[in-house]
């Protein structure tokens, strides 16, 4: 098992030994086949066993001390791979109920199997950046009807000691009224005290979902210049998050960086803030924050830098001639940034722009991209930036781009499509992006030839699996004997997530969200999606942990992991995770979403 039990566990050990079943298997026999029911954990006492994927490809070769079959056992009871004996073997079998009992009783055993069972360590967030909006909001909410008078609303604010009240009609939020609204729209304009609230409230206010993070609240408040954000679920008002709520809730981590960026007056000042990102990464890892939350918080800082640079540029250039939207792609677009990030972005503006209008957007793009470079987000080596006129275009030009990539899937088209199908709006007229994304997803989903080329392109990124039980490392050069946890780790899963998104017209750009949605919508099997999410969680978490170790050692974070940094348990689970990725690649390569 590889997990030590305490000395007091004598009776437990006796029960465990009594439940073990021993079996001998001759070379050439099959212990189980992919899809077979799994009722026991298998431990190889001696001999040899090879593990093959459902399509027959060799995954790994096992030796004395290895265990297998646990992924199916801890999931839905079905084997994910085929186990074939290569040398006469003796195998011990532990019943599922005994394994679950050990996992539930002994933390050491639970720690060994947690990556397979699913989920990433990390308790409820205790800092503002990771706190959910429903943990921050004020309740109960003080409310009034749209036809209430301004005087009545002011009295409610006074009596309840609040700076904002909700305006509700038929149980639905239709606006909010703040003390600032009363000052600017009633007193300053000398309106009568009996003026209906509907005439002075903020209609259709910016809202958040209950699972939005504190960093989202901060970014929205800074970007929109507001101090109150209603939290809404299915149209029903749950509460309101105010600046006072944020002040009460002790802010740390990315919240501090976002606030500091919002106060910066230049890219050089922002560089002083972004220089603290590696330490933030290390703190998040040490706090056992799940990888998908950690990378989102790191991306929030990038988003804040982008929005602040845009605001500074607009103050200098004046108002835009036509609507526009700034888009992030790559890891920023997917909200998956780590301690190693360059910039990837583009600009889309309305087709009503004239030739005289275009220079305004070119100036905006240059200002922001140069500023991001100075702030620590270096220029994209491939020129995938809005300052490149190719990526600063009107909506019609972007549609022509997507048409060309889908209709003529050349190697360059596949590369560009892989980047541009990860677009996420950061600032500007967000509805403009709504005119592009659903259209481009429908275009890609309807072209089977394009889909086939994208699948073929994605399969060029393979997990680093060796033939003899271990992990395949880089053979030479500066990173010899290491694993590229980006190119051979997260990118294969990112590619799969993108393929599922194109196949199912899934709007999410985030890889994990795409995988979850693919399982929920039937793009791939639910069990396959769960396995892939678990595999991705482990791969991404180990990548972040590696970067955090480098930061703590005073070194620059990178993606090259030495397997010797990991325990035997971690190496075994990492290998298992790569097996899942390879299996899912084979499945989609054979025209199926996932093995059943």
Same domain, 238 and 267: no
Residues 482, 562: contact at Cβ < 8 Å? Answer: yes
Is 499 among the domain residues? yes
Q: Which residues contact 59 (CB under 8 A, 6 or more apart)?
A: 50, 51, 52, 53, 81, 465, 579, 582, 583
Of the residues 56, 86, 117, the one at which a domain ends? 117
Same domain, 292 and 421: yes
Q: How many residues can be counted in the chain?
A: 596
Helix (H), strand (E) counts: the chain: 24, 18
Same domain, 435 and 332: yes
CATH number of the domain residue 80 falls in: 2.60.120.10
3-state helix, strand, coil in the chain (%, to 5): 50, 20, 35
What is the mean predicted confidence (pLDDT) over 453-461? 87
The pLDDT tens digits of the residues spanning 401-423 come to: 999 999 987 888 888 888 899 99
Rounded to whole angstroms, how far apart are CA atoms 349 and 326? 9
Residue 596 has pLDDT above 70, yes or no: no
Residues 547, 338: contact at Cβ < 8 Å? Answer: yes
Q: Which residues contact 358 (CB under 8 A, 6 or more apart)?
A: none
Pairing outcome for strands 345-349 and 392-394: parallel
Residue 266 has pLDDT above 60, yes or no: yes
Buried b (16+ CB within 10 A) or exposed e, 26-65: eeeeebbebebebebbbbbeebbbbbbbbbeeebbbbeee
Same domain, 386 and 277: yes
pLDDT on residue 467: 65
CATH number of the domain residue 360 falls in: 3.30.460.10
Same domain, 443 and 299: yes
The pLDDT tens digits of the residues spanning 163-188 come to: 899 999 988 899 999 998 999 999 99
- Quote the pTM value: 0.66
Is 127 among the domain residues? no
Residue 3 has pLDDT above 70, yes or no: no
What Å distances lie between residue 154 and 162, 201, 203, 448, 528, CA to CA? 10, 12, 18, 61, 56
The pLDDT tens digits of the residues spanning 318-328 come to: 999 999 999 99
Of the residues 199, 229, 248, the one at which a domain ends? 248
**What range defines the domain where residue 66 resides?**
11-117
- Tell me the pLDDT band of 74, cut-offs 50, 70 and 90: low
- Tell me the pLDDT band of 340, cut-offs 50, 70 and 90: confident
Provide the strand spans (E) within 8-52. Answer: 21-25, 30-32, 40-52
Is 123 among the domain residues? no
Same domain, 544 and 566: yes
Which residue reads 């990725």 in tokens?
A: 581
Of the residues 450, 469, 487, the one at which a domain ends? 450
Is 595 among the domain residues? no
Same domain, 174 and 144: yes
Same domain, 315 and 443: yes
Same domain, 411 and 264: yes
CATH number of the domain residue 176 falls in: 3.10.580.10
What is the mean predicted confidence (pLDDT) over 306-331? 95
Span of 252-256, 410-414, 425-429, 528-532 with lowest mean pLDDT? 252-256
Q: How many domains does the chain have?
A: 4
Same domain, 295 and 417: yes
Is 89 among the domain residues? yes
Is 577 among the domain residues? yes
Same domain, 345 and 445: yes
- Tell me the pLDDT band of 367, cut-offs 50, 70 and 90: very high
Is 401 among the domain residues? yes
Q: Look at residues 59, 27, 19, 15 and name the one whose alpha carbon lies nearest to residue 43.
A: 19
Same domain, 546 and 433: no
289, two tokens: 């924050």
pLDDT on residue 39: 87
Q: Look at residues 376, 378, 379, 129 and name the one whose alpha carbon lies nearest to residue 272.
A: 376
User: Is it true that the peptide bond before 277 is cis, omega within 30 degrees of 0?
Assistant: no
What is the mean predicted confidence (pLDDT) over 77-93? 86
The pLDDT tens digits of the residues spanning 510-554 come to: 999 999 999 999 999 999 999 999 999 999 999 999 999 999 888
The pLDDT tens digits of the residues spanning 21-41 come to: 889 999 999 999 887 888 888
pLDDT on residue 62: 77
Q: Where are the alpha helices (DSSP H) in 118-266?
A: 133-136, 150-160, 179-181, 214-224, 243-248, 254-263
Is 377 among the domain residues? yes
């Amino acid at each position: 098992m590889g997990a030590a039990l305490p000395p007091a566990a004598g009776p437990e050990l006796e029960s465990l030994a009594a439940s073990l079943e021993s079996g001998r298997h001759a070379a050439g026999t099959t212990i189980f086949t992919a899809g077979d029911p799994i009722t026991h954990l298998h431990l190889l006492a001696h001999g040899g066993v090879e593990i093959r994927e459902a399509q027959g490809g060799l995954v790994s070769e096992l030796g004395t001390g290895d265990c297998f079959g646990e992924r199916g056992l801890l999931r839905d009871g079905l084997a994910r791979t085929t186990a074939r004996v290569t040398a006469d073997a003796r195998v011990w079998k532990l019943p599922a109920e005994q394994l679950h009992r050990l996992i539930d009783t002994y933390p050491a055993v639970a720690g060994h199997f947690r990556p397979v069972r699913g989920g990433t360590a990390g308790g409820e967030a205790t800092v503002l950046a990771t706190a959910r909006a429903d943990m921050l909001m004020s309740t109960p909410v003080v409310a009034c009807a749209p036809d209430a008078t301004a005087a009545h609303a002011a009295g409610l604010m006074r009596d309840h000691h609040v700076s904002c009240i909700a305006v509700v009609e038929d149980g639905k939020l239709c606006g909010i009224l703040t003390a600032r609204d009363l000052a600017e729209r009633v007193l300053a304009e000398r309106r009568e005290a009996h003026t209906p609230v509907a005439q002075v409230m903020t209609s259709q206010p910016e809202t958040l979902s209950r699972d939005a993070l504190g960093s989202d609240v901060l970014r929205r408040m800074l970007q929109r210049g507001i101090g109150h954000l209603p939290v809404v679920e299915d149209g029903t008002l749950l509460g309101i998050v105010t600046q006072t709520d944020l002040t009460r809730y002790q802010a740390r981590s990315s919240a501090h960086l976002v606030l500091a960026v919002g106060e910066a007056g230049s890219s050089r000042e922002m560089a002083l803030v972004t220089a603290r990102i590696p330490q933030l990464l290390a703190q998040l890892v040490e706090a056992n924050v799940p990888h998908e939350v950690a990378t989102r918080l790191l991306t929030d800082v990038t988003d804040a830098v982008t929005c602040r640079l845009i605001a500074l540029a607009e103050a200098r250039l004046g108002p835009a001639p036509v609507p526009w939207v700034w888009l992030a792609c790559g890891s920023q677009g997917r909200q998956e940034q780590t301690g190693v990030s360059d910039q990837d972005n583009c600009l889309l503006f309305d087709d009503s722009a004239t030739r005289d209008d275009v220079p305004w957007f070119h100036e905006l793009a240059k200002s922001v991209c140069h500023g991001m470079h100075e702030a620590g987000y270096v220029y994209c080596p491939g020129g995938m930036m809005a300052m490149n006129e190719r990526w600063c275009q009107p909506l019609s030009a972007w549609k022509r781009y997507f048409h060309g990539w889908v209709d003529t899937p050349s190697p360059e088209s596949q590369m560009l499509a892989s980047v541009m199908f990860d677009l996420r709006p950061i600032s500007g007229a967000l509805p403009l992006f709504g005119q592009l994304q659903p259209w481009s997803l429908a275009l890609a989903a309807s072209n089977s030839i394009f889909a086939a080329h994208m699948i073929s392109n994605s399969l060029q990124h393979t997990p680093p699996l060796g033939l003899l039980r271990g992990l395949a490392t880089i053979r030479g050069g500066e990173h010899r004997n290491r694993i590229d946890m980006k190119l051979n780790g997260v990118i294969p899963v990112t590619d799969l997530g993108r393929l599922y998104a194109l196949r199912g017209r899934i709007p999410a750009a985030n890889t994990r969200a795409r995988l979850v949605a693919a399982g929920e919508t039937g793009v791939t099997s639910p069990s396959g999606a769960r396995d892939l999410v678990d595999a991705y969680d482990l791969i991404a978490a180990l990548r972040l942990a590696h970067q955090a170790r480098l930061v703590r050692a005073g070194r620059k974070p990178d993606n090259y992991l030495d397997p010797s940094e990991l325990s035997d348990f971690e190496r075994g689970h990492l290998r298992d995770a790569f097996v899942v990725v390879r299996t899912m690649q084979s499945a989609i390569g054979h025209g199926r979403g996932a093995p059943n």
